[in-house]
Amino acid sequence: MSDSAFNGSTSAPPATHSPGQAMNELRQPAIFPDGPMDTWSDVDSQPAFEVPAEGIAVLDRILTRDEIRLVGAIGPEPFTMEQARSVLSGEGTPWPEGLLEPFLRSAYARGVVQLEDESFTRFRIGSFYLRLEVFALSEPEAHLALPAETRESLDSWCLREYVASLPDDVRPTSDRVLSLQDTLAVIDAADRPIWLNRCDCRTLTGHCDKPTDVCISFRNGINTLQHRGWSKPLTKDEAKAVVRKADADGLMHTANEDGICNCCSDCCYLFRAETARGTRPWVWPLAESVAALDPDLCIWCEVCLDRCPFDALTSLDGEIVQIAELCRGCGLCVETCPTDALAMVPRSASL
């Protein structure tokens, strides 16, 4: 699901901005620490920011004082720097010259605001979902410092929001489950820059100890993680090394036109949404291949049982039995079978 909350076309990152600069800026004290301040109710009732009940308790952890002032006063319509200056200024005290643009660049990096275009002159308030996602990805230690019960309730809310955002179709997105070799082929064929992001699903959920720096994105327009300054550029060889390592660590590969996610069954919003929607396994995310077992080559070592995330392989009376309906076609079992008793084959033509 990485970068799913971000939307934009290709462009260069905003001038003078970097994650380090943004983090230094966000730690600065409020410009008017003793001046008037919008109440939490101003923020949680702001329709543009869409704060859920689960999020009210963490607003002071994910927003700075000046961001609260901005979010609480600006409506859902686009706004300019001068409009931001007006609402941020204290009574009779204008916002200091030279500090507004750095503040807005920091707010943009942190997902508090969105850009309307590449000129960095027109903005729109982001959403709580967006800010929470960027907070978890860019400040994972601070996210982990939240009480476990709070993190669990926020994750459950995020999942519900994700499921609710999906079209009412059998296959609401173009996501496909791919084998290792097919995933490497996607990288070879990529004609856009490649970026590495932290996995938002695993960071928000935290149900397993699998690696998190594994999501590959082909997106670099305004309002993306890359444009906000949180992505690492990769060569094709580096991207393939990330995928191979993820495969060795037991992560499945899913892909769409905007990138590749390396997923687990515990945290991945795609597979959790599949369950929440009651979707038939392998229909969505689409799995066009299935693992096929050759019993004559199988030595019953049971390595595949540990590799399969969905219990599509089991042991019965000393033999390995496959449940094809549960197979998502990830090929994790195939990559570690010592006798090549497992192979990926096309699913039935009835698909």
DSSP letter string, 182-194: HHHHHHHH--S-E
Pair 234, 308 in one domain: no
- Per-residue pLDDT at 9: 35
Please give the residue range of the domain that contains residue 93. 19-165
Is 2 part of a structural domain of the chain?
Answer: no
Q: How sure is the predictor about 348, in pLDDT bands with cuts at 50, 70 and 90?
A: confident
Pair 123, 31 in one domain: yes
Pair 125, 50 in one domain: yes
Is 56 part of a structural domain of the chain?
Answer: yes
Report the distance separating Cα 212 and Cα 197, nearest Å. Answer: 8
Residue 87, pLDDT > 50, answer yes
- Per-residue pLDDT at 330: 96
- Per-residue pLDDT at 164: 96
Pair 221, 321 in one domain: no
The answer to whether the beta carbons of residues 284 and 170 sit under 8 Å apart is yes
Residue 15, pLDDT > 50, answer no
Pair 229, 336 in one domain: no
Q: 237-272: per-residue pLDDT in tens?
A: 999 999 999 999 999 999 999 999 999 999 999 999
Is 9 part of a structural domain of the chain?
Answer: no
Q: How sure is the predictor about 95, in pLDDT bands with cuts at 50, 70 and 90?
A: confident
Is 282 part of a structural domain of the chain?
Answer: no
Residue 229, pLDDT > 80, answer yes
Residue 192, pLDDT > 50, answer yes
Report the distance separating Cα 172 and Cα 271, nearest Å. Answer: 13
Q: How sure is the predictor about 318, in pLDDT bands with cuts at 50, 70 and 90?
A: confident
Report the distance separating Cα 262 and Cα 254, nearest Å. Answer: 6
Is 38 part of a structural domain of the chain?
Answer: yes
The better pLDDT of the pair 5, 134 is held by 134
Pair 181, 271 in one domain: yes
Report the distance separating Cα 116 and Cα 146, nearest Å. Answer: 32
Q: Provide the number of structural domains found in the chain.
A: 3
pTM of the shown model? 0.86
**DSSP secondary structure of 156-183:** HHHHHHHHHHS-SSSS-S--EEE-HHHH
- Look at residues 120, 142, 165 and tell me which one is the last residue of a structural domain: 165
The answer to whether the beta carbons of residues 134 and 251 sit under 8 Å apart is no
Residue 27, pLDDT > 60, answer no
| Encoded amino acid at 292, one letter | A
Is 117 part of a structural domain of the chain?
Answer: yes
Report the distance separating Cα 200 and Cα 264, nearest Å. Answer: 12
Joined tokens for residue 63: 């927003």
The answer to whether the beta carbons of residues 177 and 330 sit under 8 Å apart is yes
Is 83 part of a structural domain of the chain?
Answer: yes
Q: How sure is the predictor about 1, in pLDDT bands with cuts at 50, 70 and 90?
A: low
Residue 161, pLDDT > 70, answer yes
